[in-house]
Amino acid sequence: MRKIAVAAASILVLSGGMFANVATAQAPLINGQVTKIDESAGKITLKHGPIKKLDMNQGMTMVFRVQDPAMLKQVKVGDKVRFDADRVNGQITVTKIEKAK
């Protein structure tokens, strides 16, 4: 009986971890607009809405590093975009960006 209880607890713990990863992976993208691109510095300036996971409860315009410099070739100044950002090595970094549809 004890082995069954341990096995059931293990399954619950492991499945909870999987659900947490799915929730993180499906976080909604942030709406924004490109106002400046600095390819040589690997940075992009975006006017954006709130980014709750980074405790930014208001929209603002700010400069972000990009995780992959190739992202900067996908967009141009004036484009409306959807993006994700996170703290990477202590700096707020765009980890995904796509043109808004």
Would residue 1 count as lying in a domain?
Answer: no
The C-alpha R_g of the chain, in whole angstroms, comes to: 19
Enumerate the β-bridge partners of residue 74.
Answer: none
pLDDT, tens digit, 9 for 90 and up, residues 9-30: 555 455 554 444 444 456 789 9
Neighbours of 12 (CB within 10 A): 10
Mean pLDDT of the residues in the chain: 85
Res 7 pLDDT > 90: no
Cα 49 to the center of its chain, rounded Å: 13
- pTM as predicted: 0.73
pLDDT, tens digit, 9 for 90 and up, residues 37-53: 999 999 999 999 999 99
Rounded CA separation 46/31 (Å): 9
CATH code, domain with 54: 2.40.50.320
Decide: helix, strand or coil at residue 12.
helix
Domain assignment of residue 85, given as a range? 30-99
Average pLDDT over residues 54-78: 96
Would residue 52 count as lying in a domain?
Answer: yes
